[in-house]
């Protein structure tokens, strides 16, 4: 049996709804005294960009890291707009960082209070998530999604070309406008 009459979208948090890269740079500097820039980490994986943090992921385990992330420009309005036509689920890889769970709920409650608890999924890998669309910045999630994969641009995914790429939330909305027009033609 199918619950949803509307098509479903899974939307990632870090790197998509939340602007995680400036925060990683800030915490890396605080923890290790090493300053880097968005330009310097362009095209690098997390481990390559932040080598001293690669083994322990200490910065991601610090209280407050996820709670104080800035919102990605345009995300609030765009998610609200998508919810008019789609069933939107927030699907965030979070169980690797136990402290992030509560912080992510609080963060959503602050910036996206119109998203209810029923539509929030905090998980490990995303391989059993089944939606019509998935917006994410990581191939490890998009490669195995059963629906249409949409890659949100990030410095770490510059060299990945197997998925449709969007650079910002305006482009997300344009893409879904096109999807809607195509569906109307059928």
d(CA 146, CA 158): 23
29 or 114: CB nearest a copy of itself: 114
Of 86, 71, 77, the closest CA to residue 176 belongs to 86
Stretch of 36-44, 51-59, 86-94, 178-186 lying at the interface with a copy of itself (CB under 8 A): 86-94
Residue 113 to residue 110: CA distance in whole angstroms: 6
Q: Is 20 helix (H, G, I), strand (E, B) or coil?
A: helix
Task: Pick from 123, 165, 171, 173 the residue near a copy of itself by CB under 8 A.
Answer: 123
Among 6, 130, 167, 180, binds a copy of itself (CB under 8 A): 130
Among 13, 60, 120, 154, binds a copy of itself (CB under 8 A): 120
- Contacting residue, 98, 113, 181, 185, with a copy of itself by CB under 8 A: 98
Q: Which of 62, 76, 99, 173 binds a copy of itself (CB under 8 A)?
A: 99
User: Rounded distance, CA 132 to CA 135, Å?
Assistant: 10
Residues with a known catalytic role: 12, 14
Question: What angle do the packed helices 169-185 and 75-85 form, to 10 degrees?
Answer: 20
- What distances in angstroms separate CA 101 from CA 20, 111, 123, 147, 149, one per listed residue? 16, 16, 9, 26, 25
- Residue 157 binding a copy of itself, by CB under 8 A: no
Q: How far is the CB of 25 from a copy of itself (least distance, A)?
A: 25
CB of 177 to a copy of itself, least distance (A): 23
Residues 9 to 28: which contact a copy of itself by CB under 8 A? 10
Q: Does 32 bind a copy of itself (CB under 8 A)?
A: no
The answer for residues whose C-beta is within 8 angstroms of residue 53's C-beta and 6 or more apart is 28, 31, 32, 46, 59, 60
Q: Which residues bind a copy of itself (CB under 8 A)?
A: 1-4, 8, 10, 89, 91, 94-96, 98-99, 101-102, 105-106, 116-125, 127-131, 143-144, 146
């Amino acid at each position: 049996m199918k619950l949803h009459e509307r098509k479903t979208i899974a939307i990632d948090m870090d790197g998509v709804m939340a602007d995680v890269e400036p925060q990683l740079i800030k915490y890396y500097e605080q923890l290790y005294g090493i300053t880097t820039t968005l330009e310097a980490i362009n095209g690098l994986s997390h481990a390559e960009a932040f080598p001293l943090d690669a083994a322990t992921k200490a910065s991601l385990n610090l209280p407050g890291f996820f709670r104080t992330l800035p919102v990605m420009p345009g995300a609030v309005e765009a998610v609200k707009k998508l919810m008019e036509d789609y069933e939107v689920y927030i699907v965030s890889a979070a169980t690797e960082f136990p402290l992030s769970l509560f912080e992510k709920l609080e963060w959503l409650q602050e910036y996206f209070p119109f998203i209810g608890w029923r539509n929030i999924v905090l998980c490990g890998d995303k391989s059993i998530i089944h939606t019509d669309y998935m917006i994410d910045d990581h191939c490890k999630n998009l490669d195995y999604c059963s629906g249409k994969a949409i890659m949100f641009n990030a410095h770490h995914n510059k060299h990945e070309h197997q998925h449709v790429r969007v650079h910002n939330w305006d482009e997300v909305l344009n893409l879904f406008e096109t999807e809607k027009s195509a569906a109307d033609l059928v």
